[in-house]
Every structure is written in C-alpha cells, then in structure tokens.
A and B are shown apart, each in its own frame.
Chain A
Amino acid sequence: GAVVSQHPSWVICKSGTSVKIECRSLDFQATTMFWYRQFPKQSLMLMATSNEGSKATYEQGVEKDKFLINHASLTLSTLTVTSAHPEDSSFYICSARDLIGTGVQETQYFGPGTRLLVL
C-alpha cells in the first residue's frame, strides 16, 4: 500500500522559534497533501490543503502566516510553524492522495504524525 512518512516524529522547541515538518509520499506521487492537527482524544482538524506547485488552501481560522505550507514536488510537502508558542503544541498529521498512479484515488494515506511541544 501507499506509504507516507513524516519527519520529525517528535520535536521540542523554545517559544519563538520556527519548526519545519516534512511530509513525503514514498511510493506514489501526490498532487495534493493535507495537513491536520489533532488534540488529545479529539478528531482530526483539517488545517490546509497543499497543492503541488501552487498556494495552499487554508481552512477558516487557520493563520496562513503562522503555518507556512510549501509543496514543491509531487512527493514532498512541508509545514513550518513560525514563531511557535505553547498553544501551538499539538499532534500534526499529514496525508496524501494517490491521484496519478494506480492506487485507490479516493483514499487518504496518513503519515505517522509529528508531536510538537513548545516550551
């Protein structure tokens, strides 16, 4: 099946610093990737849709200047949390759809997630 990786899996940073999270589709090309945020014992909240070669589409209430998304290739999307603060501490998950290959196009394949702790 399609595999999506995320790096790093864990990050602890000081308040005010920026953190970059990478999301890679390992065995398929993903024109579209998605970034979610998940609080403990809650569902996934879509933050933005990342489109290869174009600007990301952000959900209402998500600050695009705070959460910078870059999707420069068909296998890589990055989320940068700028000037992170303790309230940004959360679990961030990316997903991708295999819209080009022979995989099931409607299915989203998820990365393992990144735990961010801002001190």
Chain B
Amino acid sequence: AQTVTQSQPEMSVQEAETVTLSCTYDTSESNYYLFWYKQPPSRQMILVIRQEAYKQQNATENRFSVNFQKAAKSFSLKISDSQLGDTAMYFCAFIENTGNQFYFGTGTSLTVIP
C-alpha cells in the first residue's frame, strides 16, 4: 500500500532563515510523481513544487527546493529565506504514473517567526 509520512507535526523558523520539512513515502512502483502543497490559513491548497521520479535532478522553484532521494524514498522540502507568508500547513503528496489517487501525508504546520 502506498503511504506518505511526515514526521514533523509542527516546525518553526526565524524569518530569513532556512528550514527543511521531511517526507518519506512507500511504493513498489518505479514511476510516480511527488508534490508539496501549501495550505495557508485561508485553507486554499497551493502547489509549491513538483518532482517526477524518473528525473534525478532536484526540482526548484525560487526559494523552494527539494532533496529527492529515490532509493531512500525521501522527498524533503527546503525553504530558503523564509518569509512570514510561508506560515502554513505543508502537505507532501504522491501519485503513481498510472494511478488516479493522490496520497497525502499528515502535514507539517510551519510557523515563520518575525
């Protein structure tokens, strides 16, 4: 069964500092996609970053980057130069290449401290 684990229920970071959110997953498939979604207090789910499993290069989007370790089934999110607007719940998600269902982690609540 596919599972996604986020072991950090809550984290905090000082403004302008860097923070890393961890995510591990379990699958027997070789082709899949991984995502980080952000849910701010408005509760709108916002796509932060996306990674294809067949790509070795780690995805980056401005201040957001991932450390994708396929063998270890690890997909951590690094936020650089943290801003107050980064305060939100962050969900790691996974979908198989041939699948239809997203599998979400339990989320990490990130607070950026001014």
Which of A16-24, A68-76, A81-89, A107-115 contacts its partner? A107-115
Count of A interface residues, CB-CB < 8 Å: 21
A5 CB → nearest B CB, Å: 11
With beta carbons under 8 angstroms apart, the residue of B33, B47, B91 that contacts A44 is B91
B23 CB → nearest A CB, Å: 12
Q: Is B68 an interface residue (CB 8 A)?
A: no
A43–B43 Cα distance when bound, in Å, is 11
Q: Is A93 an interface residue (CB 8 A)?
A: yes
Interface size class of B (residues with CB under 8 A): 20 to 34
**With A32-B100, A49-B100, A104-B50 given, is the CB distance from A43 to B106 under 8 Å?**
yes
A34–B100 Cα distance when bound, in Å, is 10
Q: Is there an interface contact between A106 and B43, defined as CB atoms closer than 8 Å?
A: no
Q: Is there an interface contact between B33 and A106, defined as CB atoms closer than 8 Å?
A: yes
B50 CB → nearest A CB, Å: 6
A108 CB → nearest B CB, Å: 6
**What are the 8 A-B residue pairs with the smallest beta carbon separation, nearest first?**
A110-B45, A106-B33, A112-B44, A43-B104, A43-B106, A113-B43, A43-B107, A44-B104
Q: Which A residues lie at the B interface, using CB under 8 A?
A: 1, 32, 34, 38, 41-44, 46, 49, 91, 93, 95, 104, 106-110, 112-113
Known: A34-B102, A107-B33, A112-B42. 11 other contacts (CB 8 A): A1-B47, A32-B100, A42-B107, A43-B91, A43-B104, A43-B106, A43-B107, A110-B44, A110-B45, A110-B46, A112-B44
